[in-house]
Amino acid sequence: MTQHRTRVAMLSRSQPEKAVFGTALLWLACILAAFAVTAAGLQAGERIIRAHGISAFGELKYPPDFAHLEYVNPDAPVGGEMSVWAFGSFDSMNPYTTKGRAAALASIFFESLLQTTADEVDAAYGLLAEGLEYPEDRSWITFTLRPEARFSDGTRVTAEDVVYSYELLRDKGLPSFRAVLRKQVVKAEALSPDRVKFTFAENAPKRDLPLLVGGLPVFSKAHFEGSGADFEASSMNPAVGSGPYILGEVDVGQSVTYRRNPDYWGWDLPINQGRYNFEALRIEYYADYNSAFEGFKGGTYTFRNEASSLSWATGYEFPALKNGHVVKRELPDGTLAPGQAFILNLRRPQLQDPRVRQAIGLMFNFEWSNKTLFYGLYARIHSFWENSEMAASGLPTEGELAILEPMADMLPEGVLTEPAVMAPVSNADRQVDRRNLRKASKLLDEAGWIVGDDGLRRDAQGRTLRVELLNDSQTFDRVLNPFVQNMRRLGIDARHNRIDNAQMTRRERDFDFDMIVGNFPMDRTPGGSLEQYFGCESKDTSIFNKAGYCSKAVDRLIEVVKSAESRDELTTAVRALDRVLRAERLWVPQWFKDVHTVAYYDMYEHPDPLPPFALGHLDFWWFNAETAARLKAAGAL
């Protein structure tokens, strides 16, 4: 039955995670309207800011009395099901441990003190928290919880739960995340049942720390202490959360359904209006892309964000689409490119010389792949911040040089004097670009890898230059095999090893690979998370630092990025960092497109226009019961 939620037009006293795969998150109408500062807020000479939200650089789009987010439909009907697919399988409902493989959206049960939006890049508003206060130097922040906030078991969310959750993540969370919390947060303390205070380390950059702690998931202390559940264990029993969805049906490894909680405490919040409109969210698992596509054509699931250019160009000729039962659309995408790349493991001895990594990169012919395999649908990724103003270009600017020159002796060759490294351009008409083959051959000769009589390159000790490319997707074979063939033409003992999903998960976590396909999902307001991808401390502990990268220069640059006090300063610092990372050649960048290529059964609707930083199909789209009934009557579902 279709339900309609009560709408409110002012801030109430009364998320699941951003509903996307992959995650990634968006960590900004005026300062005077957003910040209420009074003489009562002066403590020991400090100016105390009281607000309903916070941004990295001070400005918030939405005032305290906003009725709903600008991009949603506050009158969207509630009901129906959104179903999508996921790759592989799952054996756990715990997304906060490296043990097991968590189901997609397994963090959907948990909310945080603050909630980001899809139309600002560095702001968050109160969710579990109805207000917050902090000094201008952001050395601490205090959150006041909403008194009506409840876990799904009906118990109240308290400051004690927030402190307990922080300590769980600090002591038992992912190793790289533990290191960030321990280094930057001094303590969390419950000042009262509804007030919690975080104090930050004196030497830590404070710009992003309120958003960091405000974005931590909040768990029920009573659940963990009462059940004896181990936070670090793989388990099919999810912890108790406070979000709008609870666990529905589970077919382990095959499918999982999350159901809308009718007793969710926060339906009337302005930030929730027009959101979480589906009665159920279902994820169907498939072993490969081809079987998943067949499942979509047969109506087993109903929404597909198409990742295969081959399918998009040639596969959408099935009856349901011809009959108008399925909609095929390209929707604008203002998000950063996902940083998809062949990631090289610098822990491997044969990959530690940047000349070797550059030579390997020259053997991937994107132009030929795009023309022959991708139907020209993609553009090349060059930057870790591709599709944004933060991508480095040309020669370093005066501002970039001011940052980079003091560390000149630690930088890769050419960073200060040459244009930013771009992915090589190849001949689109030939699988092997002979010009790039000659360049790569010269680089390997200089690095001491000489071609032997058998055509393979060896070092002075007689060891072959062996590179294994791991892959767990049959669909990707058509992309990887030509790349491997090109490397073999160069004399590299290159191997394409296709393994199953479980093996891939284990080998990635153990850093047991030479090269894999992965992502560097950066933020538009990057900060502490950079340490997990590129920091020396995370080199052998972070599941995000797949390259095993460590550089004193980059560690310093990350600190400069974290300390930026304006958007202009941040952009300059990120461009300098981007320039150095690209010069290190720790990846072979792949491709992206600036549109969402989606197909879905014609029973879903969405706001128009969409917000710039999210597709939002699991969040603020909605179900049309009338068109769904017509589809069922026609036998399309």
Residue with tokens 């609707």: 605
- Whether the predicted pLDDT of 325 surpasses 60: yes
- Whether the predicted pLDDT of 549 surpasses 80: yes
What is the token pair recorded at 511? Answer: 């850093």
- Whether the predicted pLDDT of 40 surpasses 50: no
Average pLDDT, the chain: 91
Based on DSSP, count helices (H) and strands (E) in the chain, helices before strands. Answer: 18, 28
**Where residue 35 falls among pLDDT bands split at 50, 70, 90?**
very low
What share of the chain has pLDDT > 70, as a percent? Answer: 93
Q: Tell me the CA distances in angstroms from 214 to 127, 143, 210, 596, one per residue in order.
A: 9, 8, 6, 30
**Where residue 637 falls among pLDDT bands split at 50, 70, 90?**
confident
CB 126 within 8 A of CB 13: no
**Where residue 430 falls among pLDDT bands split at 50, 70, 90?**
very high
**Where residue 102 falls among pLDDT bands split at 50, 70, 90?**
very high
Output 126-131 pairs: Cβ under 8 A, ≥24 positions apart.
Answer: 126/52, 126/53, 126/271, 127/15, 127/266, 127/269, 127/271, 128/157, 128/162, 128/218, 128/242, 129/214, 130/13, 130/52, 131/50, 131/51, 131/52
Residue 45 pLDDT: 60
CATH of domain 245-335+594-633: 3.40.190.10
CB 270 within 8 A of CB 66: yes
Q: Mind listing the pLDDT tens digit for each residue in 474-491?
A: 888 999 999 999 999 999
What share of the chain has pLDDT > 90, as a percent? Answer: 83
Q: Report the run of H or E that residue 495 belongs to, with start and end.
A: strand 493-498
- Whether the predicted pLDDT of 622 surpasses 90: yes
- Whether the predicted pLDDT of 30 surpasses 80: no
Q: Using CB atoms within 10 Å of the CB of residue 526, give its burial: 0 to 12 exposed, 13 to 18 middle, 19+ buried.
A: buried
**Where residue 25 falls among pLDDT bands split at 50, 70, 90?**
very low
Q: Using CB atoms within 10 Å of the CB of residue 70, give its burial: 0 to 12 exposed, 13 to 18 middle, 19+ buried.
A: middle
Sequence spans of domains, the chain: 245-335+594-633, 341-592
In residues, how long is the chain? 637
- Whether the predicted pLDDT of 618 surpasses 50: yes
Report d(CA 637, CA 630) in Å as an integer.
10
Among 36-40, 200-204, 244-248, 279-283, the least confident range: 36-40
CATH of domain 341-592: 3.10.105.10
Find residue 87's DSSP bridge partners.
286
Arithmetic mean of pLDDT, 416-438: 97
Q: Mind listing the pLDDT tens digit for each residue in 336-385?
A: 999 999 999 999 999 999 999 999 999 999 999 999 999 999 999 999 99
Q: Mind listing the pLDDT tens digit for each residue in 196-218?
A: 999 999 988 899 999 999 999 99
